[in-house]
Structure 1
Amino acid sequence: MFSQRVKFVRNFWEAHQMTTRRPVESFSFPVEKIKEGYYTDAYFMRSEEILNGDNYHPRVLMQVFARDHVVVCGTDEVIALIRQCAFHPETIEIHSLRDGEEVDEWETVMTIEGDYADFAHLETIYLGILARQSRIATNVRRVVKAANGKPVLFFPARYDIYQTQESDGYAALVGGIHGFSTDANALAAGGKGLGTIPHALIASYKGDTVAATEAFDKYVDPSIARIALVDFDNDCVNTSLAVARKLGKKLAGVRLDTSGSMVDKSLWTQIGTFKPTGVCKELVCNVRRALDAEGFNHVKIIVSGGFDAERVAAFEEMGVPVDTYAVGSSFFDGNINYTADIVKVDGKDCAKAGRKYNPNPKMELVK
């Protein structure tokens, strides 16, 4: 069922990518607050005040670029922002790349051409949209590439404020992820949040992982994969076997989430030649061998806890028998900065020192 869901979402995104941008009306902005400058750096509002006061309305070409190699994301939302929140948006011409395209540093992502007084108040907001969404899309794509085709789950919702979940999930979809932990994250994919048993449920059943998993199996929709969280007792091998023996073929997988400060019981006699803490190669191999030895070859292994692109790549290089990676906070790591510069005024080159008009033939006119 999980693999079928992933396939559906992937097909949805590929079809969406090839045919259309997200419509302007699919976005909702606090238009009046934005036009009043509530979310805008004050000096941009001063610029509008001066230009309008002086009745000076040159037509400018604003050029937007990233300072790093990134996966571009947020262009559809920026276009909608301009269409809904600029003054006289019908006079503004936009050229843009599409979400999901990769660019090198300094490569132009978008140009906005019009009366600067009509859209100066939007610069803070559209640069922020592009920065956040591109950061997530870029981090996601790095992990997805490192995973060599194995499913990657987007589980960082708890690491940031809830209002960002819908746009974060869209950025993750652009980056290549098709499984999400919350309904809000999954909105753009037309899906629902995935996930089964937290440590809190096991604790509620007095630390009995088997009892918690049985309760899940009894009360949760059968279409939801039965995946047991097996590190509660710091004994992933024996807990995995206990759950597998109880659920049999109904158990789809086990999730290993051992703390980075802990050493699982199955490794206590193996310590010496490797770093034994957390979800390490040796722990995953121990669980895989134990499950296979008792005929539970169908049970998949999901790993979580501190994974990023480098760690996923290392696991893949070592051939660790992981089936799915659940990744969280690392999707928010780092900073991606976008810059906007006026590079033409009334059709003539005019840019600050160190900047110049940098046309990008990959951009398309937004109609």
Structure 2
Amino acid sequence: MAPDLLRLDPATFQLPVGRIRAGYYSDAYFNSTKELLEAEDRHPQVLMQVFQKQDSLLGGVDEAIAVLKVGAGHVGLDGVWLPAWDDLVVHALHEGDPIAPHETVMTIEGDYTQFAHLETVYLGTMARRSLVMRNVRTVVDAARGKTILFFPARHDHWLVQTGDGWAAHVAGAIGVSTDAQASWWGGRGVGTVPHALIAAFGGDTVAASRAFAHRYRDTINVTVLVDFDNDSARTAVEVADALGDELWGVRLDTSESLVDVALADLGEDAPTGVNVELARRVRIALDDAGHQRVKIVASGGFDAAKIQQFEDAGAPVDAYGVGSSLLRGQNDFTADIVRVDGAPIAKVGREERPNPRLVRVP
């Protein structure tokens, strides 16, 4: 990456600047530390070192830098905020950089009182975005070049969508489901004909699909859920027959507790949910009906392990929709002072670890 040229502008994040400066989102002990040091006119010049403990990808670092740019400083005697970013020296890796356990990903040098209150915010930002980025990259790798659609929006609070979508984008997801998730790179959310729309058309998947395609065919790849009647192969062919070239793909989303009608001949051995054999039978049905160009999207309980299973079995799937599994786990970051007024001072086991990969942030 070209140093700094690809960093997101702080305005991108629409940060609540006043509350960040006031310590509203910070652990109380960091606010107390800042207040005490200022009250005693104590201004240690420190080197703060940030790291985490896994093989991962670095996410949220541009947002963390933005927090420092708008939040570092103090309130002057006249009650006006005096910014201090220009007095700090910050070095950092870039969004999407691979990182190793205990590798230093960012350092902050300067008067500690100017940024003590920001630690909770910048660490939490990197923890969340790195978690999503690492999880997405894992499923992208498992899919072996096939499209990953990032569909976890309904599984978490709406406020996390923007940064999570950016993290997924950097990690290799091709599509996201909400405009918020796509906003930081100027994209739009994508989706499929949902079950709710089919229900609104009286359970008629073809009718819902026709209406959807008529309105949106020029702006998105029309993709239709085909499991409303739990007969995915039949429904896929009916939709393909009705929409013709307007149909991009069909999406398999059978409940994990159900056996699709297409597999009824397998009896008690029939697998439930979306499985390799179901994908094969839908593919065969589409091909036999002359719809070889129609893509198959598989969703419903997918994670890296399930995608790996499908790929190892040669499943005829063109894209995977992945949801809640992309939000699971943890990728915590830690910040430690490792130098004070030029002298090495650190908690035992957290000594300074210089990293030549770090780039100065202007």
TM-score per shorter chain, which class?
Answer: over 0.9
- The equivalent residue for 1:64 is 50
Q: How far, CA to CA, are the matches of 1:236 and 1:221 in structure 2?
A: 22
Q: How far, CA to CA, are the matches of 1:118 and 1:158 in structure 2?
A: 38
Partner of 1:336, secondary structure, is coil
Partner of 2:301, secondary structure, is coil
CA displacement at 1:97 relative to structure 2: 0.4
Of 350, 354, 359, the match for 2:345: 350
Of 221, 242, 249, the match for 1:246: 242
- The equivalent residue for 2:330 is 335
Q: Deviations over 1:233-280 (max 9, x none)?
A: 00001111111121223221110000111110111211455x611100
- The equivalent residue for 1:95 is 91
1:283 maps onto 2:283 in alignment: no
Write the letter of the residue equivalent to 1:30: P
Are the aligned partners of 1:41 and 1:124 in contact in 2 as well (CA < 8 Å)?
yes
Write the letter of the residue equivalent to 1:44: F
Q: Deviations over 1:38-78 (max 9, x none)?
A: 11101111111111111111101110001211100111111
Q: How far, CA to CA, are the matches of 1:63 and 1:35 in structure 2?
A: 21
CA displacement at 1:221 relative to structure 2: 4.2
Q: Deviations over 1:139-159 (max 9, x none)?
A: 011111111111111111111
Q: Deviations over 1:274-308 (max 9, x none)?
A: x6111000100010011111111011100111111
1:77 maps onto 2:73 in alignment: no
Aligned pairs (5 A) from 1:303-342: 303-342=298-337
Q: Deviations over 1:172-206 (max 9, x none)?
A: 11111121111111112321111131100111111
Aligned pairs (5 A) from 1:1-367: 19-87=5-73, 88-273=84-269, 276-367=271-362
Are the aligned partners of 1:173 and 1:188 in contact in 2 as well (CA < 8 Å)?
no
Q: How far, CA to CA, are the matches of 1:20 and 1:47 in structure 2?
A: 34
* TM-score w.r.t. length of structure 1: 0.93
Partner of 2:105, secondary structure, is strand
Are the aligned partners of 1:59 and 1:346 in contact in 2 as well (CA < 8 Å)?
yes
Write the letter of the residue equivalent to 2:44: P
CA displacement at 1:18 relative to structure 2: 8.8
5+ residue gaps, structure 2:
74-83
Are the aligned partners of 1:234 and 1:264 in contact in 2 as well (CA < 8 Å)?
yes
Write the letter of the residue equivalent to 1:182: T
5+ residue gaps, structure 1:
1-13
Percent identity (aligned): 50
Specify whether residues 321 and 221 from structure 1 end up closer, same or farther in structure 2 by C-alpha distance, changes over 3 A only. Answer: closer
Write the letter of the residue equivalent to 1:309: A
Q: How far, CA to CA, are the matches of 1:218 and 1:72 in structure 2?
A: 42
CA displacement at 1:337 relative to structure 2: 0.6
Q: How far, CA to CA, are the matches of 2:268 and 2:3 in structure 1?
A: 50
Partner of 1:361, secondary structure, is coil
Write the letter of the residue equivalent to 1:72: L
Q: How far, CA to CA, are the matches of 2:142 and 2:192 in structure 1?
A: 25
- Count residues in correspondence: 352
Q: How far, CA to CA, are the matches of 1:113 and 1:198 in structure 2?
A: 51
Partner of 1:351, secondary structure, is coil
Are the aligned partners of 2:216 and 2:222 in contact in 1 as well (CA < 8 Å)?
no
Partner of 2:33, secondary structure, is helix
Write the letter of the residue equivalent to 1:34: I
- The equivalent residue for 1:11 is none
Are the aligned partners of 1:227 and 1:255 in contact in 2 as well (CA < 8 Å)?
yes
Q: How far, CA to CA, are the matches of 2:215 and 2:93 in structure 1?
A: 47
Q: Deviations over 1:69-94 (max 9, x none)?
A: 11001111111111111102211110
Q: How far, CA to CA, are the matches of 2:285 and 2:229 in structure 1?
A: 17
Are the aligned partners of 2:4 and 2:361 in contact in 1 as well (CA < 8 Å)?
no
Q: How far, CA to CA, are the matches of 1:37 and 1:224 in structure 2?
A: 43
Partner of 1:356, secondary structure, is coil
Q: How far, CA to CA, are the matches of 2:215 and 2:180 in structure 1?
A: 23
Specify whether residues 161 and 346 from structure 1 end up closer, same or farther in structure 2 by C-alpha distance, changes over 3 A only. Answer: same
Are the aligned partners of 2:217 and 2:246 in contact in 1 as well (CA < 8 Å)?
no
Partner of 1:108, secondary structure, is coil
- The equivalent residue for 1:8 is none
Q: How far, CA to CA, are the matches of 2:166 and 2:326 in structure 1?
A: 13
Q: How far, CA to CA, are the matches of 1:43 and 1:283 in structure 2?
A: 55
